[in-house]
Amino acid sequence: MNTINPAAMPLSTVTSTGNRKFITILYWTLTGLFSLLMLMDGIAGVTREETGQEVMRHLGYPIYAMVIFGIAKILGAIALIQPKFQTIKEWAYAGFTINFLGAFASRAFVGDDTGLLIAPVFMLAVLFVTYFVWKKFEQAKKS
């Protein structure tokens, strides 16, 4: 019997063949991991974790901004996980995009090495992948 391996197929083919299970697993795995990372980072900000304070001082930001950014990350992580309010989810993706672009720019403006510039760019790429998979997931739910 000939079986189809969804992992070997492009995402556009997966949704067009009706294989919603694959796209659902991919969506929840990527979104869950990303949200968990942002939740942990948000908690570190709210609790003013020492390493974060050092980074904030290095970048020239006030320490209290950690709490503001931390709360925003926690709310954004919750927004990505919730399935009901699509506009809130779009805003969370936009907020994380601004966060990673700001992190990159802040590091670049203080003259940090290329190695420190890679992390926000990498996370931005991961965010874009989760966004793309979310849109495929929404299409698969409608088909």
DSSP 35-104: HHHHHHHHHHHHTT-HHHHHHHHHHT--TTHHHHHHHHHHHHHHHHH-SS-HHHHHHHHHHHHHHHHHHH
Is 90 within the bounds of a domain? yes
Is 136 within the bounds of a domain? yes
- Host H or E run for residue 140: helix 114-142
75-107 per-residue burial string, b: 16 or more CB within 10 A, e: under 16: bbbebbbeeeeeeebeebbeebeebbeebbebb
Work out how many domains the chain is built from and give that number.
Answer: 1
Is 57 within the bounds of a domain? yes
Cβ–Cβ < 8 Å for 42, 74: yes
Is 115 within the bounds of a domain? yes
Bigger pLDDT: 14 vs 117: 117
Is 66 within the bounds of a domain? yes
Is 4 within the bounds of a domain? no
Confidence grade of residue 20 (pLDDT, cut at 50, 70, 90)? confident
Task: Convert the pLDDT of each residue in 24-64 to its tens digit.
Answer: 999 999 999 999 999 999 999 999 999 999 999 999 999 99
Rounded Cα–Cα distance for residues 13 and 43 (Å):
39
Task: Convert the pLDDT of each residue in 81-137 to its tens digit.
Answer: 999 999 999 999 999 999 999 999 999 999 999 999 999 999 999 999 999 999 999
Residue 120: predicted pLDDT: 97
Which range of residues forms the domain containing residue 123? Answer: 18-142
pTM, entire model: 0.84
Confidence grade of residue 138 (pLDDT, cut at 50, 70, 90)? very high
Confidence grade of residue 4 (pLDDT, cut at 50, 70, 90)? low
Is 63 within the bounds of a domain? yes
Q: Structure tokens of 4?
A: 């189809």
